[in-house]
Amino acid sequence: MAVEIAVVDDLAADRYRLISDIRSWLFRTGRASEVSCREFSDGMSFLHDGGLSGRTAIVFLDICMAELSGIETAARLRRGLSDCLIIFVTTAREFALDAYPFHPFDYLVKPYARPRLDQVLSDAFRVLEAKSDTAEIRVPHGTIQIRADRIESAIACGHAVDFQLKDGTHVISNASFSEASEQLAAFSCFLLINRGVLINMNLVYQVQKGSVVMQSETVFPIRVRDRSALVRTLTQFQIQRRMGGSGRP
């Protein structure tokens, strides 16, 4: 699950500490490779640099900032229909009532204790993971739900489909490949690169001239017909993701 976290605080020392502690938690929980952290010294910079784009999943907002307060920043986020999880950071609990109309997810009171931040992050990611889109995969004894961001590829194998997951495990479905393709068509990150081969572009490690290398080091050839267009699609997707596009299923 690709996640972006923003820390908005006009005090550089507080931003540094919070981002360091967030990254420590991400490494300890095995999420570091899936999460990016960005920092901003004021709410206006955050709003102008992607805050209203919908790509930020979690934002830590200092309430007392000179340029644009955390309350006003939250108001603009909600007016822009952002559904990000807002965690207000404050030195005074009395601001909680002012923040309430903007549906904050939680509060962090400075100076915070590390266990308190850990709990806030655990709760936030539990909510995000529950919201992640899932694919319903038909298997011999029914169906199972798999988060789309866990699926690296779907490969036609005779009358079955082999779903390879990013942790290296496999799920064999008795669905037809066309049925599996229809299921995954709901997620913009999947691309048909060859006959019977669908890949998750979020899990591409490298695009080569005639093939694509996945993060698992699996290599798939790209079909000769319209190869240039497929390589262009893959390259543009990677560029957009590096520039901060959602890259979400």
What is the spatial distance between Cα 123 and Cα 165, in angstroms, rounded to a whole number?
25
Q: Which residue has the higher pLDDT, 155 or 66?
A: 155
* Residue 53, pLDDT score: 73
Average pLDDT, the chain: 87
Share of the chain above pLDDT 90, in %: 50
Tens digit of each residue's pLDDT (9 = 90 or more) over 192-237: 999 999 999 988 988 888 899 998 899 999 999 889 999 999 988 8
Mean pLDDT, range 49-65, rounded to an integer = 86
Is residue 5 within 8 Å of residue 56, measured between CB atoms?
Answer: yes
Decide if pLDDT at 41 tops 90.
yes
Confidence of residue 10 (pLDDT cuts 50, 70, 90): very high
Confidence of residue 132 (pLDDT cuts 50, 70, 90): low
* Residue 143, pLDDT score: 84
Q: Which residue has the higher pLDDT, 166 or 198?
A: 198
Spell out the domain ranges in the chain.
Answer: 3-131, 135-242
* Residue 131, pLDDT score: 65
CA-based radius of gyration for the chain: 21
Check if 3-131 and 135-242 are the same fold.
Answer: no
Decide if pLDDT at 128 tops 80.
yes
Q: Classify domain 3-131 at the CATH superfamily level.
A: Response regulator (3.40.50.2300)
* Residue 244, pLDDT score: 46
Closest by CA to 147, choosing from 135, 139, 138, 137, is 135
Decide if pLDDT at 246 tops 50.
no
Pick the CATH number of 135-242 from 1.50.10.20, 2.40.50.1020, 3.30.499.10, 1.25.40.20: 2.40.50.1020
What is the spatial distance between Cα 81 and Cα 52, in angstroms, rounded to a whole number?
8
Mean pLDDT, range 157-175, rounded to an integer = 92
pTM over 0.75: no
